[in-house]
């Protein structure tokens, strides 16, 4: 481990040596090298991790700390273990399958070092989703798209609706954990979102717009260790999303009572009824339109039959019969 490194990078991994190899290349290619790396092997085969880290140069190996969990403790517990094993002023989670632009660390640290941003707890960056697939031992890109292309700032109001950031995109001050705590280890999924909510409830977070500096790897077709939890555990995401909202709602009610919540719930119920009424009107209009289209189609079929080739051929045949009779 590099003593005095300003940045602690935590890489969570489990039986994904192909991705871990890319992650290590990505991390050590950063233009800023003022970091320590904690690799948390959360229940995977230690041999793969040791093999890959031992292939790095001596100088790089000196900056790596590896934690092996004999059994998986979950994503959030793995994050916490890695964070606590480091001592950097700044913290960032670099999962084994995601990656950065080479200047990610340089630009995010420079942003937080700027006195104008001293009150901000961290900074998130423009992120690009990279759809990939594994072809034998290769990672093949399929397509790319900007994650939340309309995002121009990070706000609690937006984060309350849905998670608008992923760990690979967020570098923050270690002191934040003293204020809001660590990742919630009771959450098997959506732990990063719940952490973001607590962070934004406490302080502001900056946003580096422009070209993407973080890349979120997604593999919709992959399963098992190679899959993404957002696809493989979609039902769990929905379940724990609801639990997180309910927990924070209870906290709010305990502090401020039910009055505001009851009032807002009534307004939401009225809005939902207006939406349902509008949907009913749309359905009725659609049914009427279908009826009109059916009548038009029937009329069209009638016109076609009356102006078919057979109808046109009848006229010269009748004329020929008349002329033949005169002869």
Rounded CA separation 52/21 (Å): 6
Rounded CA separation 141/97 (Å): 12
Q: How many CA atoms lie within 13 A of 293 on its CB side?
A: 6
Rounded CA separation 154/237 (Å): 22
> Can you tell me the mean pLDDT for 72-76?
96
Asked which of 14-18, 202-206, 255-259 is least confident by mean pLDDT, the reply is: 255-259
Pick the residue with more confidence: 304 or 322? 304
Per residue in 227-253, pLDDT tens? 666 666 788 989 999 999 999 989 888
Q: How confident is the model at residue 269 (pLDDT cuts 50, 70, 90)?
A: confident
State the DSSP H helix or E strand holding residue 292, giving kind and residue range, or none if neither.
helix 259-306
Both tokens assigned to 42: 């959360």
Q: What is the DSSP letter of 118?
A: T
pLDDT for the residue numbered 228: 64
Q: What is the DSSP letter of 225?
A: G
Q: Give yes or no for residue 262 having a pLDDT over 80.
A: no
Q: Between 234-256 and 259-306, two packed helices, what is the crossing angle to 10 degrees?
A: 140
Per residue in 174-195, pLDDT tens? 999 999 999 999 999 999 999 9
Asked which of 77-81, 89-93, 156-160, 280-284 is least confident by mean pLDDT, the reply is: 280-284
The pTM (predicted TM-score) of the whole model is: 0.80
Rounded CA separation 67/91 (Å): 17
Please state which CATH class domain 7-256 belongs to: alpha beta
Q: Give yes or no for residue 169 having a pLDDT over 90.
A: yes
pLDDT for the residue numbered 319: 59
pLDDT for the residue numbered 212: 98
pLDDT for the residue numbered 100: 98
DSSP string, 294-306: HHHHHHHHHHHHH
Q: Give yes or no for residue 137 having a pLDDT over 90.
A: no
Measured between alpha carbons, how far is residue 221 from residues 230, 292, 317, 327 in Å?
12, 43, 65, 80
List the domain boundaries for the chain: 7-256, 274-326
DSSP string, 7-22: EEEEEEESS-HHHHHH
pLDDT for the residue numbered 327: 53
């Amino acid at each position: 481990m590099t003593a005095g490194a300003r940045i602690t990078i935590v890489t969570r991994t489990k039986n994904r040596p192909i991705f871990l190899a890319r992650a290590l290349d990505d991390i050590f290619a950063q233009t800023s090298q003022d970091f320590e790396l904690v690799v948390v092997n959360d229940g995977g085969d230690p041999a793969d991790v040791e093999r890959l880290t031992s292939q790095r140069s001596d100088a790089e190996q000196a900056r790596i700390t590896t934690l092996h969990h004999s059994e998986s403790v979950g994503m959030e517990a793995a994050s916490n273990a890695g964070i606590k094993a480091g001592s950097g002023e700044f913290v960032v989670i670099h999962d084994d399958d995601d990656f950065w632009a080479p200047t990610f660390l340089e630009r995010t640290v420079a942003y937080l070092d700027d006195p104008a941003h001293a009150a901000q707890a961290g900074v998130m960056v423009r992120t690009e989703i990279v759809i990939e697939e594994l072809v034998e031992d290769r990672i093949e890109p399929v397509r790319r798209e900007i994650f939340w292309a309309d995002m121009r700032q990070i706000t609690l109001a937006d984060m309350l609706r849905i998670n608008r950031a992923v760990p690979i995109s967020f570098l923050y001050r270690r002191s934040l954990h003293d204020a809001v705590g660590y990742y919630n280890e009771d959450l098997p999924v959506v732990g990063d979102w719940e952490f973001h909510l607590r962070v934004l409830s406490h302080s502001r977070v900056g946003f580096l717009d422009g070209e993407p500096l973080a890349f979120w790897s997604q593999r919709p077709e992959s399963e098992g260790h190679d899959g993404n939890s957002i696809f493989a555990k979609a039902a769990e995401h929905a379940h724990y999303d609801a639990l997180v909202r309910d927990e924070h709602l209870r906290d709010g009610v305990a502090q401020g009572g039910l009055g505001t919540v009851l009032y807002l719930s009534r307004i939401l119920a009225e809005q939902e009824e207006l939406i349902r009424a509008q949907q009913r009107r749309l359905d009725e209009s659609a049914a009427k339109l279908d009826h009109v289209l059916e009548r038009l189609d029937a009329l069209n079929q009638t016109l076609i039959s009356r102006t078919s080739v057979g109808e046109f051929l009848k006229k010269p045949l009748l004329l020929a019969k008349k002329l033949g009779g005169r002869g």
